[in-house]
């Protein structure tokens, strides 16, 4: 009797859900009971747990299934293209986040930093950053739920829509109950299990396919030209130059990363947390791409987005496929719950607090917690329903990532350079966001058949949002601004309820 049945899949989902809900309830028994603690859990978690949780957050459906999709679509070069992006973004942009957290520890989100930094320019820039943050967190959660539907369908035969909706509802239930604390500690436990299982499954898959030599011979004979080459034109122009400009922004314009850095109990540990997480993360997409290479070598002809579960289900025994299901569900849960929590944080810190509520209410009004949980539940249900779509995980994620490019560079420069020209930075954002939507998002999402290669479309908004602020700052430096002014503004708003200056 096969264990790869819909019933087995439902049981596995149920066990995930029960364990996560129990952990969420136990972790929140002795918390402060306010919205600030629910969503931010500021300074609550040891650095090693934050490091592992951040790896789990970066380990999403695209890291596994998208990297494998890259392997079957681009050959051996995919084994280094995808793993290269996030660590490089940490090297470039990690110091920016570190500086912001050390100098302004009461900031809760990247749009909130922009609200203070661009305060003299009005609310328009802050509102645009907030909109980007909401869209990013929402659709990245949707991508995870789509991935869950794929895996549960391929391995257990559960209809896509049922697997996606159930996964989304389970995630919504425990993150609504436990907030960021539940997300961090469930990530930690899931990541330990995922690491062990992946270390077994990937080599096992290669060996079951005939070993490295057989896989290499299959790649050399594959229909994809130069699939066995480490560097190819197709991989550079079709994968690296499309993924790199967007993913490089990941470490900074990602509320999931901010949440975990803020939750670290040690101010000043930011570079270590980001650097160690990025370094340890590299092995995971590299290993996942190997499964895609196995699929290419054996002539896999199914949906490229499902090559990883398809290959494993085809060549490993049933319990090997079940182990893979545990890995992917754990990865998906860890990222989707973070996205739901991040979206809720932005809604509270950047929509409710500045325009409808107050810092005092967020810090002291326990009734706001219930209202926040209701909003989280509604958003989670909407995410679950949208997760029933069937699209390419790799290119859907690249399309969403395209939207964050225009806000990355002005933010980074505003944190590093006190003479940054706010007006030219605002121009860059307001021109760059539509440019990114037209030239990068629409072509990669398959909505517009553009007359240029995708990497060219990614180059345009980056050139705008890097060039304009640099030119404006060189010609008209804002010598009147200093970061002490910004710190005073933040302290004036938060000190009364956060225990004074940090």
- pLDDT digits over 319-333, tens only? 888 888 888 777 778
pLDDT at 477: 92
% of the chain beyond a pLDDT of 70:
94
| Range 197-211 average pLDDT | 90
Look at residue 58 and tell me if it is in a domain.
yes
pLDDT at 366 over 90: no
Look at residue 373 and tell me if it is in a domain.
yes
The beta strand positions in 23-82, using DSSP E, are: none
Tell me how far apart the alpha carbons of residues 415 and 404 are, in angstroms, rounded to a whole number: 17
pLDDT at 165: 93
Look at residue 357 and tell me if it is in a domain.
yes
pLDDT at 32: 58
pLDDT at 502 over 50: no
Tell me how far apart the alpha carbons of residues 348 and 111 are, in angstroms, rounded to a whole number: 11
Least confidently predicted of 293-302, 343-352, 483-492: 483-492
Tell me how far apart the alpha carbons of residues 377 and 174 are, in angstroms, rounded to a whole number: 10
500: pLDDT confidence band, cut at 50, 70 and 90? very low
pLDDT at 131 over 80: yes
pLDDT at 73 over 70: yes
Please give the DSSP secondary-structure letter assigned to residue 32: -
211: pLDDT confidence band, cut at 50, 70 and 90? very high
Please give the DSSP secondary-structure letter assigned to residue 40: T
- The model's pLDDT over 146-173, given as tens digits with 9 standing for 90+, comes to 888 888 888 888 998 999 999 999 988 8
- The model's pLDDT over 275-317, given as tens digits with 9 standing for 90+, comes to 888 888 888 888 889 999 999 998 888 888 788 888 888 888 8
Number of domains in the chain: 1
Whether residue 264 contacts residue 50, with contact meaning beta carbons closer than 8 Å, is answered with: yes
pLDDT at 204 over 50: yes
| Range 409-435 average pLDDT | 91
Query: How many helices (H) and strands (E) are present in the chain, helices listed first?
Result: 26, 0
- The model's pLDDT over 23-60, given as tens digits with 9 standing for 90+, comes to 777 766 655 566 766 777 777 788 888 888 888 877 77
Residue 100, domain CATH: 1.20.1730.10
CA angle 386, 387, 388 (to 5 degrees): 90
Tell me how far apart the alpha carbons of residues 340 and 376 are, in angstroms, rounded to a whole number: 7
User: What is the CB neighbour count within 10 angstroms for residue 98?
Assistant: 20
Look at residue 207 and tell me if it is in a domain.
yes
Look at residue 490 and tell me if it is in a domain.
no
pLDDT at 1: 43
Look at residue 491 and tell me if it is in a domain.
no
Look at residue 442 and tell me if it is in a domain.
no
Whether residue 442 contacts residue 448, with contact meaning beta carbons closer than 8 Å, is answered with: yes
275 CB-near residues (< 8 Å, 6+ apart): 90, 91, 94
The residue among 366 and 372 whose pLDDT is bigger is 372
For residue 172, what is the enclosing H or E element?
Answer: helix 160-208
pLDDT at 31: 59
Least confidently predicted of 126-130, 216-220, 223-227: 223-227
**Structure token digits, residue 154:** 């391929």
Range of the domain at 105: 8-404
pTM recorded for the entire structure: 0.80
pLDDT at 496: 57
pLDDT at 497 over 80: no
Round the average pLDDT of the chain to a whole number and report it.
83
CA angle 21, 22, 26 (to 5 degrees): 115
Classify 423 as helix, strand or coil. Answer: helix
Tell me how far apart the alpha carbons of residues 384 and 420 are, in angstroms, rounded to a whole number: 41
Look at residue 154 and tell me if it is in a domain.
yes
**Structure token digits, residue 310:** 């398809």
Tell me how far apart the alpha carbons of residues 222 and 293 are, in angstroms, rounded to a whole number: 10
pLDDT at 28: 63
């Amino acid at each position: 009797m096969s264990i790869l049945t819909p019933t087995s899949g439902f049981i596995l989902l149920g066990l995930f859900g029960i364990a996560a809900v129990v952990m969420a309830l136990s972790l929140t028994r002795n918390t402060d009971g306010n919205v600030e603690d629910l969503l931010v859990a500021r300074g609550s978690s040891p650095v090693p747990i934050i490091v592992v949780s951040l790896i789990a957050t970066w380990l999403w459906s695209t890291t596994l299934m998208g990297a494998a999709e890259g392997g079957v679509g681009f050959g051996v070069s995919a084994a280094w293209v995808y793993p290269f992006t996030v660590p490089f973004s940490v090297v470039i942009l990690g110091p920016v986040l570190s500086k912001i957290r050390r100098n302004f520890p009461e900031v809760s989100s990247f749009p909130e930093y922009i609200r203070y930094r661009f305060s003299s320019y009005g609310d328009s820039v802050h509102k645009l950053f907030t909109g980007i943050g909401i869209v990013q967190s929402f659709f990245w959660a949707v991508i995870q739920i789509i991935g869950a539907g794929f895996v549960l369908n391929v391995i257990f035969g559960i209809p896509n829509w049922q697997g996606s909706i159930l996964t989304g509802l389970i995630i919504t239930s425990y993150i609504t109950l436990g907030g960021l604390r539940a997300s961090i500690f469930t990530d930690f436990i899931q990541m330990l299990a995922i690491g062990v299982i992946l270390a077994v499954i990937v080599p096992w898959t290669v060996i079951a396919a005939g070993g490295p030599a057989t896989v290499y011979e299959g790649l050399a004979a594959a229909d994809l030209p130069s699939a066995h080459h480490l560097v190819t034109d197709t991989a550079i122009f079709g994968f690296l130059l499309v993924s790199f400009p967007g993913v490089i922004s990941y470490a900074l314009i990602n509320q999931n990363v901010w949440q975990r850095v803020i939750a670290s109990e040690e101010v000043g540990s930011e570079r270590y947390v980001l650097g160690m997480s990025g370094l340890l993360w590299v092995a995971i997409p590299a290993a996942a791409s190997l499964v895609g290479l196995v699929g290419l070598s054996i002539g896999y002809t199914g949906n490229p987005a499902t090559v990883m579960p398809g290959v494993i289900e085809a060549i490993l025994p049933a319990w090997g496929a079940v182990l893979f299901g545990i890995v992917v569900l754990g990865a998906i849960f860890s990222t989707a719950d973070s996205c739901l929590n991040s979206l809720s944080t932005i809604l509270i810190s950047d929509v409710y607090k500045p325009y409808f509520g107050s810092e005092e209410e967020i810090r002291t009004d326990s009734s706001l917690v219930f209202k926040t949980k209701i909003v989280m539940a509604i958003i989670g249900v909407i995410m679950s329903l949208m997760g029933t779509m069937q699209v390419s995980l790799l290119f859907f994620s690249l399309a969403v990532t395209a939207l964050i490019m225009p806000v990355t560079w002005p933010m980074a420069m505003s944190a590093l350079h006190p003479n940054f020209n706010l007006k030219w930075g605002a121009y860059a954002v307001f021109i760059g966001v539509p440019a990114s939507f037209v030239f990068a998002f629409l072509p990669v999402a398959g909505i517009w058949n553009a007359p240029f290669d995708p990497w060219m479309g990614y180059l345009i908004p980056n050139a705008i949002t890097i060039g304009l602020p640099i030119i404006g700052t060189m010609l008209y430096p804002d010598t009147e601004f200093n970061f002490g002014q910004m710190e005073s503004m933040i302290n004036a708003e938060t000190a009364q309820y956060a225990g004074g200056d940090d």
